[in-house]
Amino acid sequence: MPKVLIIDDSSVMRKIIQRNIQQSGLLVDEFVEAGDGREGLEKAASNDIDLILCDWNMPNMTGIDFVKALRGSGQKNNIPIVMVTTEGSETKIEEAKNSGANGYLTKPFTPEQLKSKLGNFLLVK
Amino acid sequence: MTLESVMETIALDITESTKTLFETMIMMDLKYNESSLVDDTQIKTDVIGLVSFTGKYHGVIALFCSKQFALKVASTMLMTELTGFTSEVKDAIGEVSNMIAGNVKTKLMAQYGDMHLSIPIVIAGEGLSITAVNNHPVVADTTLSCFSKDPWLMTPFISGNEKFNIGLLLKESNK
């Protein structure tokens, strides 16, 4: 069963994402949380993660720097990453995809939008 | 385009972004009134959630609300009844401010190029007022804080029996 890493500096947002996934019927075995990109790298290294959801604007290490660091690390650099962020401009979406993000969802989102986006990476019950 | 008309356009973006946020993630009915300029002496609030931005224009977008409303928003977002003003309530208000400012930023970037948003800051107390002390030196030409002497363009919102405001401070950069 898949393990999902949620990286967001807002604990409330991490809980909302978690709850929406659980209620959507998407199959997830375990959630791992991180409050910034740096902690995200540590959690990705020490866990068998199947999917990463990552905010953009965070203290210490931003989401885009996390994506670049993970993709350039040579280890676990093929885990799918979906950016979940308020950054909604075409420029930022393009930058994220060019840096190695596999999906993009802008906040605020509905549970249906989250399910639709993550359905590309997770199985449904 | 004058600064006043840019502020009015951004106030419309704020209204639209706030409405969308409340419809999609907070699930609370929302009504709003026209924006107006408000000086610091008219502001009294319990909670301020603020995000500053820089770019062609720089400024602050801030949410002003009561503790009661902050509790209601956080409880709705977390789908649990929160009774105390915990760090989760502050986190929720920070995230609400961040989502409103982030969506406004996306709209502004289409017109004015790249912009940068700060991490949200939440200030909480009881009956807070904002005072711009006369003759206080300007910290930098490219930043504004909620303690600016400039008037806020304030948009009032109503949700149920609760009122809250989203304010905007704005200046053109390099002038």
Give the CA angle between residues B83, B86, B91 to the nearest 5°. 120
B102:A85 CB<8 A: yes
Q: What is the CA radius of gyration of chain B?
A: 16
Token pair 């989203």 is found at B166
Does domain B3-170 bear CATH number 3.90.1300.10?
A: no
pLDDT at site B175: 55
pLDDT at site B39: 82
- Name residue A26's beta-bridge partners: A124
pLDDT at site B137: 47
Q: List the one residue out of B173, B172, B167 whose CA is nearest residue B5.
A: B172
Provide the pairing of β-strand B36-38 with B31-32. unpaired
Question: Choosing among A12, A22, A109, which should be mutated to test the B contact, i.e. which has the most B CBs within 10 A?
Answer: A12
d(CA B138, CA B30) in angstroms, rounded, equals: 37
CB B131 within 8 A of CB B148: no
Token pair 């304030």 is found at B154
A57:B98 CB<8 A: yes
Of the candidates B24, B77, B117, which has its C-beta nearest A109's C-beta? B24
Phi, psi of B131, rounded to the nearest 5 degrees? -125, 125
Does domain A3-118 bear CATH number 3.40.50.2300?
A: yes
Per residue in A60-88, pLDDT (tens digit) is 999 999 999 999 998 888 999 999 999 99
d(CA A35, CA B87) in angstroms, rounded, equals: 15
**Which of A 67-106 lie inside 8 A of B, CB atoms?**
85-89, 91, 106
Of the candidates B91, B99, B103, which has its C-beta nearest A11's C-beta? B91
d(CA B92, CA B21) in angstroms, rounded, equals: 13
**ipTM entry:** 0.92
pLDDT tens digit at each of 175 positions of chain B: 898 899 999 999 999 999 999 999 999 989 999 999 988 777 889 999 999 999 999 999 999 999 999 999 999 999 999 999 999 999 999 999 999 999 999 998 988 888 999 999 999 988 888 776 665 544 445 555 555 678 899 999 999 999 999 999 998 887 5
What residue ranges do the domains of chain B occupy?
3-170
d(CA A115, CA A93) in angstroms, rounded, equals: 19
pLDDT at A24 over 60: yes
Q: How confident is the model at residue A29 (pLDDT cuts 50, 70, 90)?
A: very high
pLDDT at site B22: 95
* Other beta carbons within 10 Å of B34: 9
Contacts of A19 in chain B (CB under 8 A): 79
What residue ranges do the domains of chain A occupy?
3-118
Report residue B153 as tokens: 């363009």
In the Cβ-directed half-sphere of B137, how many Cα atoms lie within 13 Å? Answer: 2
Question: Choosing among B73, B86, B95, B122, which should be mutated to test the A contact, i.e. which has the most A CBs within 10 A?
Answer: B95
Report residue B157 as tokens: 């919102």
